[in-house]
Amino acid sequence: MSPAHRRATAAAGIAYVLLAGVESLDILGMPGPDGPAADVVAAYTGNRALLLVQALCGAVSLVAYVVFAAGLTRLVRDAGARGAWPRLLLAAGIGGPLLGGIGQVAQFVLVSRGPDGIRDDPQGALDLHAFDLRIQAAGALFIALLLLSAGVAGHRTGALPGWAAGAALALAPVLAVAAVVALASGAAAKGALVPALALHALWVLAVSAFLALDAYGPAEDDAPAMTLARLMYGAVAVAAGLSGIALLAAPSTTADWFAWGLAPAPLAATIGGFYLASAVVYGLGAVAGWRAGRVLAIGILALSVPIFVATLVHLEVFDMGRLPAWTWVVLFGVFGPAALLVLAGQRGAGAGTEPDRALAPAVRVGLLVLAAPLLLAAVALWADPAGAGDWLPYAPPPMSGRVLGTWAFLLAVVAVWAALRGRLGEAWPALLALVLFPAGALVAAARAGGDLEDDGRAAYLAVLAAWLGAALALAWAARRGPGTATSSPPPRSSRTAP
């Protein structure tokens, strides 16, 4: 299977997981197929725009799943698989989405009826909702068949690594049993099926990541820790990019779809701009070497640990009956230990043999100067988030203010690290972040400018503009300035650095 086809299959698998995740934002809070009609009415008379987006994402995710299944079929066939297993794999990959498409029609009918139509016919809404859930349960049987076929064919041919084939074979009966339980007992549908489908989504994501890395030449000699780093940076880039777009598009409706009601709107939009900036930085980092990757791992550590602590302190703001809240807690709980594993695994690893250039002393001093107010802002926002309303054109509540402060802490940490290391190869992610983050904040100010308080708006925009100008000057000086070119020592082995 060519690298291009591997990348296409990986992209389809990742797209499926992301789109299905958007569709399932409220899956934990949705009523079961035999629940009271009043609950179904309440579920489908909320944010109609969000319901439509979720239904559309669900429909497109089915197409992505067909492409992913077709790619897996080609993968095992090119590896020598013959007989019934490849045919079953493809049939399951098409049959499941076809059933899912029938369920999507029921969702579209419910959304198209509008709040008034649903209230006028609550029993009809319940019947359509129950039909959709039972169709999904039946579709899960096809997913179990796909896992079984992929596991057998992938194991026999070596087309899939042992962990992927083994996980598929272990998960197939679990999903099949969950589907049967869900079909037989409406009350148990959610408890049986949702965890099994979540495990299946993780499997699709892991296989897609394997295919993407396998098709990327520079990653062939990565050590395991560097592979983990690339996966983590790619996950950050995708999740941050989607979250950033959503926060900038709808900063006033975060209570409907975000992990918690991130407010006020200007702060939500600002964090959305920060997410987009980090998506660019970590997306580039995912295809870079360890020289740049080290500072990105330190950045994840600086962000994830304080946010996880803030989450535990302010757990009351999260609705743990919703998937976004659990996703937030799990991701920020996992990213910190993962970053530590990367740093420990790559400790002492070479950064490559290509020449690097020392930063000019003025650039290193400039980085420290920029880091100082960022660190002060981080401390102030953590110590007294409400008091930040005295110097921000909006008043952040405790959780939101501390999250904003943690982003400032991340930037301060990577700026200090870049200044101390003093090499362009390690400093460019920090310099890029210092440019993109104020740019993202200015975009957010333009998006939610009407909600900024008049008192302090001009000063706030001036500070962001000054920050952006100073960061651009530092980046230009770092790239053009007179630095000493040196070659890094070779890596300890071909498995320690790309």
SS3 per residue for the chain:
CCHHHHHHHHHHHHHHHHHHHHHCCCHHHCCCCCCCHHHHHHHCCCCHHHHHHHHHHHHHHHHHHHHHHHHHHHHHHHCCCCCHHHHHHHHHHHHHHHHHHHHHHHHHHHHHHHHHHHHHCHHHHHHHHHHHHHHHHHHHHHHHHHHHHHHHHHHHHCCCCHHHHHHHHHHHHHHHHHHHHHHHCHHHHHHHHHHHHHHHHHHHHHHHHHHHHHCCHHHCCCCHHHHHHHHHHHHHHHHHHHHHHHHHHCCCCHHHHCCCCCCCHHHHHHHHHHHHHHHHHHHHHHCCCHHHHHHHHHHHHHHHHHHHHHHHHCHHHCCCCCHHHHHHHHHHHHHHHHHHHHHHHCCCCCCCCCEEEECCHHHHHHHHHHHHHHHHHHHHHHHCCHHHHHCCCCCCCHHHHHHHHHHHHHHHHHHHHHHHHCEHHHHHHHHHHHHHHHHHHHHHHHHCHHHCCCCCHHHHHHHHHHHHHHHHHHHHHHHHCCCCEEECCCCCCCCCCC
Determine the Cα–Cα distance for residues 27 and 21; give it in Å rounded to an integer.
9
- Alpha-carbon gap, residue 457 to 461, rounded angstroms: 6
CB 347 within 8 A of CB 290: no
Distance CA 367, CA 467 (A): 11
Q: What pLDDT score does 132 carry?
A: 85
Query: Residue 282: its pLDDT value, please?
Result: 95
- Band of pLDDT at residue 493, cut at 50, 70 and 90: very low
Q: Is the pLDDT of residue 2 over 80?
A: yes
Question: In one letter, which amino acid is 271?
Answer: I
Do the beta carbons of residue 8 and residue 67 sit within 8 Å?
Answer: yes
Neighbours of 119 (CB within 10 A): 13
Q: For residue 91, what pLDDT is reported?
A: 96
Q: Is the pLDDT of residue 497 over 50?
A: no
The pLDDT of residue 495 is 37
Q: In this predicted structure, which of 187-196, 257-266, 414-423 has the lowest mean pLDDT? A: 187-196
Question: Each residue of 209-251: pLDDT tens digit?
Answer: 889 887 777 777 788 899 899 989 998 999 899 899 999 998 9
Type of residue numbered 290: W
| Residues ≥6 apart with Cβ < 8 Å to 179 | 137, 138, 140, 141, 144, 192, 193, 196
Whether the pLDDT of residue 483 is over 70: the answer is no
Question: What percent of the chain has pLDDT above 90?
Answer: 58
Tell whether the torsion through CA atoms of 476, 482, 483 and 486 is positive or negative. Answer: positive
Query: What is the predicted pLDDT for the residue at 224?
Result: 87
Q: Which residues fall within 8 angstroms of residue 215, CB to CB, at 6 or more apart?
A: 3, 4, 6, 7, 10
Residue 355's beta-bridge partner residues? 487
Q: What pLDDT score was predicted for residue 189?
A: 55
pLDDT-based confidence at residue 188 (cuts at 50, 70, 90): very low
Place of tokens 């008034």: 116
Tally of CB atoms within 10 A around 441? 26
Please check the confidence at residue 353 and state whether its pLDDT lies above 90. no
Reported as a pLDDT band with limits 50, 70 and 90, residue 191 is: low
Share of the chain above pLDDT 70, in %: 94
pLDDT the model gives residue 87: 95
- Average pLDDT, rounded, for the chain: 88
Q: Where are the domains of the chain?
A: 3-215, 234-487
- Give the mean model confidence (pLDDT) for residues 470-481: 90
Whether residue 168 is predicted with pLDDT greater than 80 in this model: the reply is yes
For 108, 381, 387, 399, 411, the CA distances from 375, given in Å and listed in that order, are 49, 10, 16, 18, 8
pLDDT value for 186: 58
Query: What pLDDT, on the 0 to 100 scale, is given for residue 201?
Result: 93
In the predicted structure, residue 479 carries a pLDDT above the cut 90: no
Angstrom distance (rounded) from CA 125 to CA 131? 10
